[in-house]
Amino acid sequence: MITAPESSQIDVWAELKELRDMVVEQRVELSATKAELQSQKTTVEDLKKVNAALLYKLDETEHQVQALERETSALKTRLMAVEAGNEEQAAEMTSMEARLSSSESRVEALERDNADRPKVAFSAALVTSVGPLNTDTAIIYPNVITNIGNAYSPVTGVFTASVRGVYYFRFNAIDQRRNYGVSVNMLKNGIQFVMRPHMLNVSDKQFVSNGITLELDTGDFVSMSLPSGHRLQGDGNRNNIFSGFLLFPM
């Protein structure tokens, strides 16, 4: 049988044991709390690092946004300048188109005027020698090089004006043989009005040429003649040529 003191002693030990168990439990809980606190501290440090990185990125992003805003502003300024330039270019293009249209109209008018204007031009050459003869002789240039308008006759050697206007005529006369003088006359309506004087060179070739502008009425004619006692040497080189063309009608 347990006595009262012994019972009290048992109760004390039971309480002490209970207190010890509580202390042990609290120590375990405290250790767990410390571990959890340390983990939270680590997490907080990590969060601080992440936050610092985010703040750095945010600051960098803000700088980039500011740079983009500056670039956008510059692009807007350039775009406004380009638009203004485009307006000037459009105005200049309109002016150029107007000038081009005017030029095209003038060209068309000139083409119509040119199409309506008569076209006369000829060149003919000797192929055989002529002279010397005892009288002045008409020179016929049978080798027709050009005969636009058919105003020149290779049969008679005569050019006949098809329209009233201003004409230009030219001739070349040459002979490479000694002891023969070179001289030719140009006639208008059978009347001599251009004469090359006697040219005599006993050492080598003789050569003369001339040109003249004439006002002719329709039907007027121009021809060439060889004075008596002279001759021209004709060959395939076409050195002796009679030419003319219409400068403009009147």
- The three-point CA angle 57-58-62 to 5° equals 115
Percent above pLDDT 90 for the chain: 27
Q: What does the pLDDT read at residue 51? A: 67
Amino acid letter for position 173: A
H helical segments located in the chain: 4-116
Correct CATH for 121-249 of 3.90.1420.10, 3.50.50.60, 2.60.120.40, 2.60.40.1080: 2.60.120.40
Q: What does the pLDDT read at residue 128? A: 85
Other Cβ atoms within 10 Å of 142 Cβ, number? 13
- Residue 203, both tokens: 């050492």
Q: What does the pLDDT read at residue 159? A: 97
Q: What is the DSSP letter of 240?
A: S
pTM: 0.54
Residue 208: which of 170, 238, 177, 246 has the closest Cα?
Answer: 170
Name every residue whose Cβ is closer than 8 Å to that of residue 153 and which is 6 or more positions away in sequence. Answer: 159, 160
Q: What does the pLDDT read at residue 93? A: 76
What span, in angstroms and rounded, lies between the C-alpha atoms of 162 and 145? 19
pLDDT tens for each residue of 92-146: 778 887 887 787 778 777 667 666 688 999 999 998 888 778 888 899 999 999 9
The answer to whether 207 and 118 are in contact (CB under 8 A) is no
pLDDT tens for each residue of 169-188: 998 888 776 556 677 889 99
- The three-point CA angle 220-226-230 to 5° equals 170
E strand or H helix that includes residue 148: strand 143-148
The answer to whether 152 and 124 are in contact (CB under 8 A) is yes
Q: Residue ranges per domain, the chain?
A: 1-116, 121-249
What span, in angstroms and rounded, lies between the C-alpha atoms of 248 and 250? 7
Residue 74 in 3-state DSSP? Answer: helix
Q: What does the pLDDT read at residue 200? A: 46
E strand or H helix that includes residue 222: strand 221-226
**Residue 205 β-bridge partners:** none
**Looking only at Cα atoms, what is the longest distance across the chain?**
197
Q: Where are the beta strands (DSSP E) in 92-205?
A: 121-125, 137-139, 143-148, 159-160, 165-175, 185-188, 191-195
Q: What parts of the chain have a pLDDT lower than 50?
A: 198, 200-202
